[in-house]
Amino acid sequence: MPIVVKDLHYTYNAGTPWAVPALRGVSLTVGDGEFVGVIGPMGAGKSTLAQHLNGLLRPPPGTVWVDGQDVGAREGDLLAVRRRVGLVFQFPERQLFAETVAADVAFGPRNLGLAPDAAAERARVALGMVGLDYEALKDRSPFSLSGGQQRRVALAGVLAMGPRYLILDEPTAGLDPAGRRELLGLLARLHREQGLAVVLITHHLEDVVRLAQKVVVLAQGRVAMAGPPAAVLGAARRPQLRALGLDVPVAARLVDELNRRGWQLPGHVVREEEAVAAIVQAAAARRAPGRGAAEGPDPAAPWGSRPAAGGGDPGA
Amino acid sequence: MLRDVTLGQYVPGRSPLHRTDARAKLLAGLCLAAALFVVNAWAGYGALAAYVLAMALVSGLPLGLVVRSVRPVLWLVALTVVFHGLFTPGTPWAGWGPFQITVEGLDTAGRLAVRLILLVAGVSLVTLTTSPVALADALEWLLKPGQRLGLPAHEIAMMMTIALRFVPTLLEELERIVKAQQARGADLETGGLLRRARALLPVLVPLFVGTFRRAEDLALAMEARGWRGGVGRTRWRAPRWALGDTVALAGSLLFFAWVGWRFR
């Protein structure tokens, strides 16, 4: 069963001089076990949308459904929604509070009414999921850990609730490239191995393009585009993405640049490994006699002269 | 819930009240407070209420906003009413067993409630129509005579500005943390007093940690820009006192003096 959002509107400080419309009729679906990337520039309404998905902001009745439950229904059980839909805020390490890592991660399960030992077991499993060693860390203060570790502990705190949907608001913000890669790898693994549906909210298309099955672009509180990455990030759409202030992924930029110089690479290529394969193939065709590849100094020669062995390497 | 706190929030505008010099507004506010505690007759409260209402209308702000600014002190008002109603001796009005609500108690409680509400509404009108910087400048000016006695006027004003500046920021942070813990199933809204106090721990610890981090960042940023206290510091925008300010302040003070003398 999916999360379904239908024509959701939301205005901050409604009825005061500070009224700011944040969502103006957003509709989307997050399928069971689906990996969805929600992208958009700052102020597009991404975080506001996220908070409606687990009832932190109460949606109007009939606009947000989680596994068939109307989140906005008056008599609705919000705890049931929050158990299903785990929300990881931006800089989640800033919510750590307990004296020990184990107690902090067990906070969620305890709120669900689990006994201390059952909650501790959940904490052990959750810390394992984020690649941390429970025995080594359980008695340490969360404040004594490194920033990257703190973020994983905070993520484990949400995973320990046992959600079916994991919503992450800019989870890679403030991480170095290695930390970012690790975290994205972790999300991919959770999606693959635990069957979790993941909603990754970010303004980095690069993070989304590799992992997401579906991309939803929000702009000014509306869904500007939605679909599989190859369609949303396809060549025809890229000027629009740039106009929104979003960075098009490197592989797509490379394809655009080569096409500008006379190559004919398919516009739906947005992932690095696809780009490499397409370029290698095109280069081979260009080198073949009879094709018009010999006009003057070929700017793409270094690429064309490379052996085809690079084709299988994702380059990551 | 948290957005109800309008204290320290500033709504820019171009009304006469907005344009009045901050020093005049601050003095008028102080004198309003004094008048509220001198006056002892209901008619006097009526006159002062009329003054506050008139100022609210002049400010051009939505009246709902001014009413909302009073909301945070309503529980204090309720508490006062209950205590005075119950524990003032006099003619009984209603009662259950040992608990007696007296007419005198209700009267005292009503006066206190009106005082508190008018005070907060008046102060809110000042902060709603005055930019925090102008307000701090006015405060510094007001404290200046104390400087000879070693009162750090500039530092106090600076602390005020910073405190006011961070009220919305910290409220926002508080709201984020509350939401994050609610997302983990924390229940902050039900249960007895003790339970609720315990439930606040997961909110307060991150809030304090965050506040200290902010304070350190701010201190560093101020030092990096060469802040060394108030000595010899010049102003970008020097406040200018106009004839209208004199008239408004003198009018207000005369009115307060009259009300205070007439309804003692």
| pLDDT tens sequence for chain B (264 residues) | 345 455 557 888 899 999 999 999 999 999 999 999 899 889 999 999 999 999 999 999 888 888 888 888 888 888 888 888 777 777 777 777 777 778 888 888 888 899 999 999 999 999 899 988 888 889 888 888 888 888 888 888 888 888 878 888 898 899 999 999 999 988 877 777 787 888 889 999 999 999 999 999 999 999 999 888 777 777 777 778 899 999 999 999 999 999 989 887
Instruction: Based on the fold, state whether residues A285 and A196 are members of the same structural domain.
Output: no
* Residues A272, A199 share a domain: no
**For residue A316, is it within any domain?**
no
CATH of the domain at A228: 3.40.50.300
Chain A residues with CB-CB distance to B184 below 8 A: 82, 107-108, 111, 157-158, 161
In a shared domain, residues A140 and A275: no
Residue A315 maps to a domain: no
Q: Same structural domain for residues A135 and A195?
A: yes
Residue of B1, B184, B195, B208 best to disrupt the A interface, most CBs of A under 10 A: B184
Query: Measured between CB atoms, which of A13, A51, A86 is closest to B3?
Result: A13
Contact B206 A95 (CB under 8 A): yes
Interface of B with A (CB under 8 A): 3, 11, 61-62, 64-65, 176-177, 179-187, 201-203, 205-206, 209-210
* A contacts of B180 (beta carbons < 8 Å): 87, 89, 92, 95
- The answer on A287 and A147 residing in a single domain is no
Instruction: Tell me: do A171 and A270 sit in the same domain.
Output: no
Can you tell me the distance from the alpha carbon of A263 to that of A283, in angstroms, rounded to the nearest whole number? 9
Q: How many domains does chain A have?
A: 2
Cite the DSSP H helix spans in chain B.
16-19, 22-38, 42-59, 63-70, 74-87, 103-129, 132-143, 153-183, 193-199, 201-224, 243-262
Encoded amino acid at B101, one letter: I
Q: Are residues A82 and A104 in the same domain?
A: yes
Q: Are β-strands A69-70 and A20-30 bridged in parallel, bridged antiparallel, or unpaired?
A: unpaired
- In this structure, is residue A69 part of a structural domain? yes
ipTM of the complex: 0.83
Helix axes B42-59, B63-70, angle to 10 degrees: 130
**Chain A nearest C-alpha distance from B205 (Å):** 5
B72: helix, strand or coil:
helix
Does A196 lie in the same domain as A181?
A: yes
What is the 8-class DSSP label of residue B100? E
A87, A94, A170, best to mutate vs chain B, most B CBs in 10 Å:
A94
How many beta carbons lie within 10 A of that of residue A293, not counting itself?
18
Q: Is residue A313 part of a domain?
A: no
- Contact across the interface for B210 and A79, Cβ inside 8 Å: no
What is the rounded distance in angstroms from the CA atom of residue A170 to the CA atom of residue B76? 41
- Which residues form the domain of A269? 250-291+300-307
Does the pTM surpass 0.90? The reply is: no
Q: Is beta strand A165-169 parallel, antiparallel or unpaired with respect to A197-202?
A: parallel
Whether A114 and A263 map to the same domain: the answer is no
Dihedral angle of Cα A196, A199, A205, A206, to the nearest 10 degrees:
-30
Is A284 a domain residue? yes
Is the same domain home to A74 and A119? yes
Is residue A278 located within the same domain as residue A210? no
Nearest C-alpha of chain B: how many angstroms from A182? 23
| B236 within 8 A of B131, measured Cβ to Cβ | no
Biggest CA pair distance of chain A = 75
Q: Does residue A94 sit in the same domain as residue A215?
A: yes
